[in-house]
C-alpha cells in the first residue's frame, strides 16, 4: 500500500528526495513534521469553515496555502525517505 501511495505522490517526493550531499536526519524530525502538517490541515479546515459560515470567500488563498503546506508535510513525513525529511528541515 505504501508503494502505491509513493507512486501517487511521486511528484512531491521526487522533489525532496533528489538533493545531493550529506544530510542530518533525526527520527524526531519526522514526528514533528507529521504533527506540524496535521496542525496546518486543522488550521486550514477551521479557516475554511469560518470563511463559509461568514461568507468571506476572500480568504481562499490563505486556506489553500495552509492546506498545501500541511498536505506536503504529511506526505513527506509519512512516505518520504530520510533525505526528504532532512531536505524539508534544511538539515545539511
Three cell numbers at 14? 521526487
- Report which of 79, 76, 72, 67 is spatially closest to residue 4, judged by C-alpha positions: 79
Whole-model pTM above 0.95?
no
pLDDT per residue as tens digits for the range 33-52: 999 999 999 999 999 999 99
**Residue 76 exposure: Cα atoms within 13 Å on the Cβ side:** 28
**Residue 2 reports pLDDT greater than 90:** no
Q: Which residues contact 66 (CB under 8 A, 6 or more apart)?
A: 40, 41, 43, 44, 47
Name the 3-class secondary structure at 15.
helix
Amino acid at each position: 500500500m505504501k508503494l502505491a501511495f509513493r507512486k501517487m505522490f511521486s511528484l512531491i517526493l521526487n522533489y525532496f528526495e533528489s538533493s545531493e550531499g550529506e544530510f542530518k536526519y533525526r527520527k524526531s524530525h519526522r514526528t514533528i513534521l507529521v504533527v506540524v502538517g496535521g496542525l496546518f490541515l486543522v488550521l486550514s479546515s477551521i479557516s475554511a469553515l469560518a470563511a463559509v459560515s461568514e461568507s468571506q470567500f476572500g480568504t481562499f488563498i490563505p486556506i489553500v496555502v495552509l492546506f498545501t503546506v500541511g498536505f506536503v508535510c504529511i506526505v513527506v513525513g509519512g512516505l518520504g525517505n530520510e533525505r526528504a525529511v532532512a531536505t524539508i528541515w534544511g538539515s545539511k
